Amino acid sequence: MSELPTIRLITALDRELAAATLVQVEAVLNGRATIANGAREQACDLAISIGGDGTVIGAARDLVDESIPILGVNCGRLGFLAPFDATSLANHADAVVVCKPPCRSQSVLSITLDRADGSSLVDKAVNDAVLHAGEPWRMLELALTIEGVEGPVLRGDGLVVASATGSTGHSLSAGGPILAPETAALVLTPIAPQSLAFRPIVAPIEAGLQILVCRCNSGTAMVLDGQVRHQLHEGDRISIGRHAHDALFVQRPDEPWWRILQDRMRWAIPPRLRDEGLSN
């Protein structure tokens, strides 16, 4: 008999369906796995995130340095990063509830903030780092350096620096491109730039992006993954590269990423034509 995997359950109990889904997931795991009961010091083979995409991102932030694969069970609205529900988990349990489940490796951003006062901090972003103007909402001025080459000064409401994972999030809403999740790159997407010529750009994740805060507001901040906020001040310098570990996500065997992109994000869905039932 094969060894049973040890699984950590991470549940967004603020979700209305999460408690009921948790019961269903535990039923699927019964006899198939050992549940770690939330003990963070206990080693595990797999983490199951029960909630929405934010729950998956939070789990990835916590577990990326332990190289623990994350399986997302959706109780939220979109579920782009949580492709399973209780039924599909039961249907594919033999393939994914195992000690070494098949998973996809996705790069994570390393963030270093060197402050003007000489202090510094290191953090990470699974999805994105969003620099926003904040109150009183005057324009930011951010000087960019890429691969050691001084670039333009962005004047606008902010900047989204996204990983491939985060390219379908805030960056996409601001006009950025979609990257396949395995792409080792980062996306720079300006938010309401003053210059019409300042377009989104994709750069290698090892490009050595640096951002100098030249002008900001009292409320200017950098928000990581929509979950962690760092206040910014003039003279602060942000360096963004590739984190030492990638995030590992378990995929549904019957639902490739390209299918999820079409079905859940409605990518490339054509307009309805008159002969296809569009009313006058």
Catalytic amino acids? 53
- Residue 233: which of 112, 124, 115, 111 has the closest Cα? 115
Cα separation, 61 vs 121, whole angstroms: 16
Q: Count how many Cα atoms sit within 13 Å of the Cα of residue 214 in the half-sphere of its side chain.
A: 14
Element (H, E) at 89: helix 86-91
Containing H/E element for 188?
strand 185-191
Q: How far apart are CA 40 and CA 217, in angstroms?
A: 39
Of residues 117, 45, 56, 60, the one with CA closest to residue 82: 56
User: Taking the C-alpha atoms of 144, 205, 252 and 255 in order, what is their torsion angle to the nearest 10 degrees?
Assistant: 70
